[in-house]
Amino acid sequence: MKRSARWRGGSALVLGALLGFSLSRIGFTSYDELHKMFVFSDLRLVLVFAGAVGLSAIAYRLLPLGRAIPTRRIDRSTIVGSILFGLGWALSGACPGAALAQLGEGKLFALFTLAGIVSGTLAYGPVNGRLLRWATDSCG
Amino acid sequence: MTFWPFWLGAIALASVALGCLVLLRRPMGVSGNLAQALDPGARAAELEERTLTQEELRFALEQATRDAFADAEIREAMNAARPAKSQPALGAPLGWSVNVLFLIGIVLGAAVSGIFLGGASATIDVGPTYRALLGDGPRAWVMLFAGGTLVGFGTRMAAGCTSGHGLVGCGRFRPGSLVATACFFGVGIVLSFALVWVRR
């Protein structure tokens, strides 16, 4: 790798590690904690999320980042996809990052979750290409 | 294991999101890392076809009109002033190995947490809540796989997850991300209540 590519690779590894560490320490890898968030019996995780969004919003205001990639319009792919994701999240207890973090923690059952996530991710290409043909937005 | 207080978690997640923007010059988005790691060609094509902005569209229409009706001089002068192709102010998409390294990093970071702080060891115990609502053993594994498939498929379709749409998108007040986050949180809440209700 070139030097700058090595730097990006190293940064990615460190940032990913910080994310995995944080997800674990916060409790996003625990179905017990996540469920408490979803049924409003403990707001800690909600406050984590809201707080993180708030802090990020302030940071984005201060940093010269340019426009976010604009939303074309509210795509049905965004809405339907998010609905499917929400269902899967409550059913498996893991968003993509959390599933990987669960694996790191030694929760071996996360292998089933990850197998599902990989399958779903790979299936989307052909399904959308041949059946749905929906435009897909971006989160950037 | 004692979990972090909310403010520490908030600072940590915001820092990682910020770190991605500053060090990698890309918004954080785990589902994007996964999609690009697993299916790089398709994702690139999806991104390609959505960067047409209003300015470019208007220019294209004006250019077609000029080509049809205007004099040669006007055509030459005005067709030359095309708007710069819209590019996000951020850098190029991450290479395949950078995506993979980020994902590996998540596993390793969580391992550090588990080993050094949580005393965790390898387990197949899904925990009391999951066991109560969805079962244990092979039945749970099927549920996890099914849920995972919905997560993988849905995040790819929505082009973002809790990090991409939730943290970064909402932080930048992107309407699409705000809608997405409301949807997946809302549905997660509804389904969770439903699971409890069914088990009553």
Choose among A73, A99, A71, A120: nearest CA to B157: A120
Query: Whole-angstrom Cα distance, residue B176 to residue A79?
Result: 9
Contact with chain A for residue B91, Cβ under 8 A: no
C-alpha distances (whole Å) from B34 to each of A113, B4, B135 are 14, 27, 28
Query: Whole-angstrom Cα distance, residue A9 to residue A30?
Result: 29
Q: What is the pLDDT of residue B43?
A: 59
C-alpha distances (whole Å) from B47 to each of A131, B2, B35, B52, B61 are 19, 41, 12, 10, 22
Query: How far apart, in Å, do the first and last CA atoms of chain A sit?
Result: 26
In this structure, the number of other CB atoms found within 10 A of the CB of residue A133 comes to: 8
Structure-model confidence comparison of residues B84 and B35, the more confident one: B35
Among B127, B154, B180, the residue with its CB nearest the CB of A31 is B127
Mutation to test the B interface, candidates A26, A91, A127, most B Cβ within 10 Å: A91
- Contact assignment for A47 to B6 by CB distance below 8 Å: yes
In this structure, the number of other CB atoms found within 10 A of the CB of residue A2 comes to: 7
pLDDT digits (tens, 9 = 90+) for B135-155: 888 999 999 999 999 999 999
The structure tokens listed for A103 are 């694996």
Choose among B161, B19, B94: nearest CA to A99: B161
Mutation to test the A interface, candidates B1, B11, B16, B36, most A Cβ within 10 Å: B16
C-alpha distances (whole Å) from B67 to each of B71, B81, B84, B85 are 8, 14, 20, 20
| B183 within 8 A of A86, measured Cβ to Cβ | yes
Q: What is the pLDDT of residue B89?
A: 47
Rounded to the nearest angstrom, the minimum Cα separation between B44 and chain A is: 11
Rounded to the nearest angstrom, the minimum Cα separation between B97 and chain A is: 7
Please, which residues 59-78 of chain B have a Cβ atom closer than 8 Å to chain A? Answer: none
pLDDT digits (tens, 9 = 90+) for B36-72: 888 877 656 555 545 555 666 777 788 788 888 877 8
Check pLDDT > 50 for residue B178: yes
Quote the pTM value: 0.83
Match 């292998």 to its residue by tokens. Answer: A111
3-state secondary structure of B89: coil
Q: Could you report the average pLDDT of every consecutive run of 10 residues in chain A (140 residues)?
A: 75 95 94 94 95 91 67 80 96 95 94 96 86 66
- B81 burial via Cβ count (<10 Å: 0-12, 13-18, 19+): exposed
Among A44, A65, A85, the residue with its CB nearest the CB of B151 is A85
Rounded to the nearest angstrom, the minimum Cα separation between A3 and chain B is: 13
Q: What ipTM was estimated for this complex? A: 0.90
